[in-house]
Amino acid sequence: MKAAFLQFAPQYLEVEANLDYVAGLLEGADADLIVLPELFTSGYFFKSKDDLAAVAESVPDGPTTRRFEAWARATGATYVAGLPERDGEAVYNSAVVVSSEGFVGTYRKVHLFYEEKTLFAPGDRGFRVFDVQDRVGNAYRLGVMICFDWYFPEAARSLALQGADIIAHPANLVRKDCPRAMPIRALENHVFTVTANRTGQESNGREMLTFIGKSEICDPVGEILLRADRTGDHLGLAEIDPLTARDRQITAHNHLFGDRRPDSYALQ
């Protein structure tokens, strides 16, 4: 199957324009799985809670999820895309998973970064793995984490332990370390990873953030199959076989999960 990231620079608060721009970039894309950046509909560095409230939407009955449902029906692809999700009084930094069969599920970011802590509610459902299919009906398991979750190895491990073959990783990275870390997350869990980062700059009126691009796809032995530049739009595609992630034998005597010793670990 073909896995893809879409890297671009969302416009702040311009939901319709961002959706239209993405539709143009994805026109004719030949991919089974397409991962978009974190908060791709809205931009990232909110100037106020009112700005965030103006662009937060409910899932799955909000306009973005509905639009992805239509795209997925037309293309057969599965999409993972970050957006601000409204649920009652709370707003979550979420990613929706949508396939040709419709809305699949949502992940709400667990590890909030920097001023996100003043704006979003922390994810309340843990790390989740979804059963999806490629365009010819081969099933695989898709885990989702968002951006700063990379800093916590427990996130990718939780997804791998639940059987993820691929980890989709919508991101708005500002720290330079993540592109070096994701091959390790992939290797230590024997999973594919697809990081879709954004580019460009945003100011919240007090401070400027520069997003580092470098979206990438890594394989279960930690090789970088594809990495985008720091700037520029990029639809990056790699041919992968997700089921190769299921071989977690390290040597004839060692198994990645079988050799774990949770009784020896400090988990709290």
Q: Rounded to the nearest 5 degrees, what angle is found at the Cα of 109, between the Cα atoms of 102 and 262?
A: 105
**Minimum CB distance to ligand ACM smaller for 84 or for 242:** 84
Quick one: which of 46, 50, 60 has its CA closest to 10? 46
Q: How far is the CB of 2 from ligand ACM (least distance, A)?
A: 26
* C-beta closer to ligand ACM: residue 5 or 113: 113
Which residues touch 146 (CB under 8 Å, ≥6 apart)? Answer: 38, 82, 93, 94, 95, 107, 109, 169, 170, 171
Shortest CB 173 distance to ligand ACM, Å: 6
Residue 93 vs 99, nearer CB to ligand ACM: 93
Instruction: Report H helices in the chain.
Output: 15-26, 49-55, 63-75, 153-161, 178-189
Q: How far is the CB of 236 from ligand ACM (least distance, A)?
A: 19
Query: Residue 144 Cβ, how far from ligand ACM at the closest point, in Å?
Result: 14
Angle between helices 153-161 and 178-189 (to 10 degrees): 30
Of 55 and 132, the one with the shorter C-beta distance to ligand ACM is: 55
DSSP three-state, residue 49: helix
CA distance 2 to 135: 9
Specify the amino acid at residue 60: P
Residue 76 amino acid letter:
G
Tell me which residues touch ligand ACM (CB under 6 A). Answer: 38, 113, 147-148, 172-174
Whole-angstrom Cα Rg for the chain: 17
Active site residue ranges: 38, 109, 147
Beta carbon of residue 64, minimum distance to ligand ACM (angstroms, whole number)? 18
Q: State how far the Cα of 216 lies from the Cα of 238, in Å rounded to an integer.
A: 10
Q: Closer CB to ligand ACM, residue 38 or residue 202?
A: 38
